[in-house]
Structure 1
Amino acid sequence: MSVYRVVTLILGWQVAASVCYYAVFAATPFFRDEFGLGGAAVGLVVTALTLGYAVFLLPLGALTDRFGEHRTLTAGLLGLTVGTALVARADSYLVLLVSVFLLGSVYGTAMPGTNKAIFDRTPPGRQNLAIGVKQVGVTAGSGASALLVTGLASVLYWQAGFYVATAVGVAVALAFWVAYPRGEQTGEASYPDFRRLLANRPYRSLAAAGVCLGAGLFTTTGYTILYVEESVGASVAFGGVVLAALQVSGSVGRVVTGWLSDALPGDPRRRIGAILLVQAVASAALFVVAAFVEGRLAAAATFVVLGFFVLGFTGVYYSCMATVVSAEEMGGATGGGQLALTSGALVAPPVFGHLADTVGYRWSWLLLAGLALVGAGFVVRVILAESTPESAASAE
């Protein structure tokens, strides 16, 4: 099976899955109006979504090792379509929270399955770019969901985008089942050896950076449309366009940093860590700009640039992870790293929303700026740590 075919199929799956998952982020203004929610309550919707993802990430990763990505990714996408339909049918805030939790839980098939396919079927020297391209599916799907949900809401009703996402997900799941090759090797379902991973100081630092940077990523995605509407004074439809543009620039960031990770010379940990450090520091600076910017066009431009850094770091985050753990640990390390990213999203959105309600969005964005700087400090610790000769990236 060619690398091109693997990446294309995984990219298509990731786009469809992300359309379903990130439709929740695009619909936050409609949840607010439908159920009479404040900023903190809207943040709890994002928290419930990411909590479901965090709780089921490791069990679904173990099942992926046991049954292979062909089965788990197909079943996962079909599960996402069910969750998406349940969100659209929610008739109370409690039902909404339960529905988004279920939606988030089946999204836990995404990272283990897609990363397993890339690392198992892509040769060294091309993996960083392949991961970057695959991660574009996340931002592309999120951007598409922003336009889909806000666009159809302006001419039909907010649930219409969720129904379209459901139909697309079913079609892609069936196509993936047919086109992706069978015959994966199966093994025992097992959990990562966290004791060994936690004994790895550079890995601990990178995971801590992931908590801080993940808080910025998910909170920015969840509140962009609300911020544009409530603080900038633009329409929800314009906010959807801004969110989509944010995701496009994040896609560019993932591809560019993936290419740089493969192309730049020098020690893998230092060169990839330096790229991640630039993204963290730049994210902090742009969060400060977002706190003080005024006007629709200025705010839109700020978010487009912000997306390149705050949404564009995930590919290089996993590439950096490959420089601090062995190839045998990469699966577990990836699961733990994704858990770190989503952990940041469990607390940050409600706090961000509470600050926006009580003292204004300026302090909310400054909170994210501070977290990004703390994350940058942890990345510095990764760069300064001793190189690991047996790391997964040493195969380059």
Structure 2
Amino acid sequence: MTGSRGPAAASAWIPLVVTVTLVQAVLALMSRALPLFGMPLTASSGMPPEAVGQLSSATSLGSMLFFLWGPALLVRLPSIRQLQLGCAVSAAAMLFCAAGRWEGLLIAAFGIGLGYGPSTPAGSDLLMRVTPKHLRATVFSIKQAGVPLGGLAAGLLLPAVAAFFGGVDAALVTAAVLALVAAAALGFWKGTVDDARPAASAASPFRHLLLAPVRLIGLLVHAPRLRLITAAGFCLGVAQGVLMGFFPVFLSDHAGWSLTAAGAAFAVLQGLGVGGRVVMGWMSDRLGDPVRALSGICLASGLTMALLASIGPGSSPLWVIVLSSLAGLTVVSWNGVFLTGLAEAAPEGRVGEITAGGTFVLFSGYVVCPLLMQAVIAATGGYAIGLILAGLAPAIAGLALMIGAGRRQR
């Protein structure tokens, strides 16, 4: 069965995947906007360039809080409505950037992360109900390809808007408008695949909300396969969080690239990530086991982070572009496989909760690691050691997955 409406859902699932992917891209664009303009935003606020890590951490913190309590708080709200709400919250959060103060930017980053939150549980719930089983990893990876697609759009579109149409403020307003357009586009699907409200919990609303984080983490820890996938996702998120939070500033502050050039390299990274996520999902479907796919991706991610540490002021543009492309294929291309593994291992009817819980653990790395990276940069005076340390986490996870797989085969 491909969805709640049988054959009707089967004929409609492709355009729904396209819509959900584009919404994912817009929400990702919102989350990339502040780090992309890290140099001018930190300078105008009187902060050092490496403080951009605080914005990335605030965004991830907002998403984490949604993953913990959002699914329980919005349990009666259909998934499409949750996605629309997320777009609206992200757009409203951009208003806090207008004050030009660092506190306002942190609030904006937090609000953008909060609005991004529904994209994982609500989007996963929709796709799990309409996607054919043999294509799930591919379709989930297509949906997650919306994340680097949004980063690609951010790298190409927003610096151009800033350069030709009124500076950074104009670019941030443009991002907010795109989020509102995405919310309106979701309205076309209301009543077709998502018109049933989930059943209310038997527990009291307050107790249900209070115990939601305990239930989520308990589910992940209890099942060995979920525990293994979640741990691998956390380690992969360490490298991805550092790369997404610092790459444009790394190229501008460390390698001496202009904002436009750094944005173009960031766009290359994100553009390769779009195709990379689809390829990784296809490979996972061919292997028939997301855990096996994740083990190889972990090792590739760790190696790539070590290579990125070689970039310096004298690096050739070709070398930087080659490594940006490699990072797009490895460091940012695993999320769809990760979510597929969680969704397939989730108990019946709990896909949204499990993907939210697993992504909460993943985003905890997104919160902590950029702050640690800022401390490492301040202590060492450079970026290389931080990049290498961030790459060790997925490399170790990849080895652990391979060892665990070998033991299971015996």
**TM-score calculated relative to the size of structure 1:** 0.90
Residues 1:36 and 1:300: Cα distance change in structure 2 (over 3 Å): farther
1:215-230 equivalent positions in 2, closer than 5 A: 215-230=238-253
Residues 1:309 and 1:97: Cα distance change in structure 2 (over 3 Å): same
The counterpart of 2:308, out of the listed 286, 290, 303, is 290
Residues 1:119 and 1:386: Cα distance change in structure 2 (over 3 Å): farther
Q: Which residue number corresponds to residue 36 of structure 1?
A: 46
The counterpart of 2:156, out of the listed 147, 159, 164, is 147
Q: Which residue number corresponds to residue 117 of structure 2?
A: 108
Q: Residue 312 of structure 1: SS of its match in structure 2?
A: coil
- For 1:62-104, what per-residue CA distance to the aligned partner results, in whole angstroms no more than 9, with x for missing partners? 34542211211112111111112323x1321112112211221
CA distance in 2, matches of 1:349, 1:295: 27
Q: Which residue number corresponds to residue 259 of structure 1?
A: 282
Number of matched pairs: 381
**Which amino acid letter does the alignment assign opposite residue 226 of structure 1?**
V
Q: Are 1:140 and 1:247, in contact at CA under 8 Å, matched by a contact in 2?
A: yes
Q: Which residue number corresponds to residue 358 of structure 1?
A: 379
Q: Which residue number corresponds to residue 90 of structure 2?
A: 80
Q: Are 1:52 and 1:105, in contact at CA under 8 Å, matched by a contact in 2?
A: yes
CA distance in 2, matches of 1:217, 1:327: 30
Q: Which residue number corresponds to residue 20 of structure 1?
A: 30
Q: Which residue number corresponds to residue 368 of structure 1?
A: 390
Are 1:49 and 2:67 counterparts? no
Residues 1:385 and 1:64: Cα distance change in structure 2 (over 3 Å): farther
- For 1:108-153, what per-residue CA distance to the aligned partner results, in whole angstroms no more than 9, with x for missing partners? 1111111011001112112111101111111111221122222222
CA distance in 2, matches of 1:160, 1:201: 48
Are 1:206 and 2:215 counterparts? no
Q: Residue 196 of structure 2: SS of its match in structure 1?
A: coil
CA distance in 2, matches of 1:99, 1:248: 26
**Which amino acid letter does the alignment assign opposite residue 200 of structure 2?**
E
**Which amino acid letter does the alignment assign opposite residue 206 of structure 1?**
I
Q: Are 2:44 and 2:100, in contact at CA under 8 Å, matched by a contact in 1?
A: no
**Which amino acid letter does the alignment assign opposite residue 226 of structure 2?**
Y
1:1-396 equivalent positions in 2, closer than 5 A: 1=9, 2-87=12-97, 89-155=98-164, 156-180=166-190, 181=192, 182-188=194-200, 191=212, 192-264=215-287, 268-269=288-289, 272-293=290-311, 294-322=315-343, 324-359=345-380, 360-380=382-402, 383-384=405-406
CA distance in 1, matches of 2:216, 2:369: 28
CA distance in 1, matches of 2:404, 2:362: 16
Identity score, percent: 23
- For 1:326-348, what per-residue CA distance to the aligned partner results, in whole angstroms no more than 9, with x for missing partners? 44443322111101111111111
**TM-score calculated relative to the size of structure 2:** 0.87
Segments of 5+ residues of structure 2 without an aligned counterpart are 1-8, 202-207
CA distance in 2, matches of 1:23, 1:36: 19
How far the C-alpha of 1:50 sits from its partner, in A, is 0.7
Q: Residue 36 of structure 1: SS of its match in structure 2?
A: coil
Residues 1:380 and 1:340: Cα distance change in structure 2 (over 3 Å): farther
How far the C-alpha of 1:43 sits from its partner, in A, is 1.1
**Which amino acid letter does the alignment assign opposite residue 359 of structure 2?**
Q
CA distance in 2, matches of 1:332, 1:175: 25
Task: Identify which range, 149-158 or 117-126, moves more after superposition.
Answer: 149-158
Residues 1:124 and 1:142: Cα distance change in structure 2 (over 3 Å): same
Q: Are 1:64 and 1:112, in contact at CA under 8 Å, matched by a contact in 2?
A: no
